[in-house]
Amino acid sequence: MKSNINIQIELAEDKMPETIHWTAPDGGVPDLQAAKAILLGLWDGQEKSALRIDLWTNKMMVDEMNDFFYQTFYGMADTYLRATKNAALANDLKEFAKVFLKKANDALDK
């Protein structure tokens, strides 16, 4: 059995992402959904290295990026806990996420 997650990126003239759309039919998202940013991480087991695709549109505001990173860090903590059962380190990551968001929001207020 195979399953697809489809990501469509439309580039502006300067080759920066103008729009990002995605679908995941087997995941309950059959129709194109708009997104302002995507962080995709892949693990190359042979090379023992992470590969990343990080894209965002010019419509992504800094406060949204702050929230996006906070939610990503927090979600990574949950994933890490499920994968490793290391609650202490997962909680450390969640605490980092909270501190990150506070500092990021404080920087916006300056």
In terms of domains, do 71 and 54 share one? no
pLDDT, tens digit (0-9, with 9 covering 90-100), for 21-75: 999 999 999 999 999 999 999 999 999 999 999 999 999 999 999 999 999 999 9
Residue 93: domain span? 61-110
In terms of domains, do 20 and 1 share one? yes
Which has the closest alpha carbon to 3: 26, 37, 29, 30?
A: 26
In terms of domains, do 48 and 23 share one? yes
Contact 57, 37 (CB under 8 A): yes
In terms of domains, do 54 and 67 share one? no
In terms of domains, do 18 and 43 share one? yes
Q: What is the C-alpha separation between 110 and 103, in angstroms, rounded?
A: 11
